[in-house]
Amino acid sequence: MEEEVRDFFAIILGAALTLLGLIIAFTFSMAVSRYDQRKNYEEQEANAIGTEYVRANQLPPASAAKVHALLKSYVDQRILFYKTRSERELLQINARTAQLQSEMWSAASTSIEALPAPMSPFILGGMNDVLNSQGYTQAAWWNRIPIAAWLLLIMISVFCNLLIGYDAPGKSAYLLPILPIALSIALFLIADIDSPRRGIIRVQPQNLESLAESLHSQ
């Protein structure tokens, strides 16, 4: 009878550990995909700003200079968005970004009146891409692993540790911390990747910084 109980316990333990491994792999995949998405949107945002900066050359000189100045200030704010860790500073950055977006759209829409009709979609389309890319970036930063997934992962981790601790013989007690430590490292890595503003592994605005350096040198 005792042998049957041990066999059944081994089945339960194996199934629990397998389920834990699958959930960790699934959660890690979710975190990495969101990290890659944030990187891709940073690149797209830099491309959109750079493209509109070049398109603004088609505007009258005074209007082009105004749009160029606004785009330079805008890219600086976007870099700060990626780098700041302060929620108070983030509110200021978002407010300044919204103001610049309004000013850029107003400057572009009023400046195209002196251009031929086919040029209007060319200029405004590029400005629309600039504004949309910021919205896509913000949405990607809000897209996090659901709380329910974290709760499920933590609960199964606790149950697996309890099962292993219950079945561990006395001589192997020094091996018991291995699983909790390994799980802690895995969960920390997932949480860090899933924290775009507070984590150690963060998206660096390399494309935006390169663009800002290029624009300010002109």
> pLDDT tens digit string along 164-192?
877 666 656 677 788 888 889 999 999 99
Q: Cα–Cα distances in Å, from 78 out to 131, 156, 158, 177, 189?
A: 12, 40, 41, 44, 26
Q: Which residues contact 100 (CB under 8 A, 6 or more apart)?
A: 70, 73, 74, 77
Enter the DSSP assignment of 85.
-
CB 130 within 8 A of CB 48: yes
* Local structure of 26: helix, strand or coil: helix
* Structure tokens belonging to residue 20: 């834990």
Per-residue pLDDT, 115 = 65
CB atoms inside a 10 Å sphere around CB 203: 21
Q: Which residues contact 12 (CB under 8 A, 6 or more apart)?
A: 163
* Structure tokens belonging to residue 57: 């050359």
* Local structure of 182: helix, strand or coil: helix
Per-residue pLDDT, 2 = 66
Per-residue pLDDT, 173 = 65
* Structure tokens belonging to residue 181: 């430590």
Predicted model pTM = 0.83
Runs of H (alpha helix) within 56-86: 61-83
Per-residue pLDDT, 171 = 53
pLDDT tens, per residue, the chain with 218 residues: 466 767 777 888 888 888 889 999 999 999 999 999 999 999 999 999 999 999 888 888 888 889 999 999 999 999 999 998 888 999 999 999 999 999 998 888 887 766 666 777 778 888 899 999 999 999 999 989 989 889 989 999 988 888 887 766 665 667 778 888 888 999 999 999 998 888 888 889 999 999 999 988 87
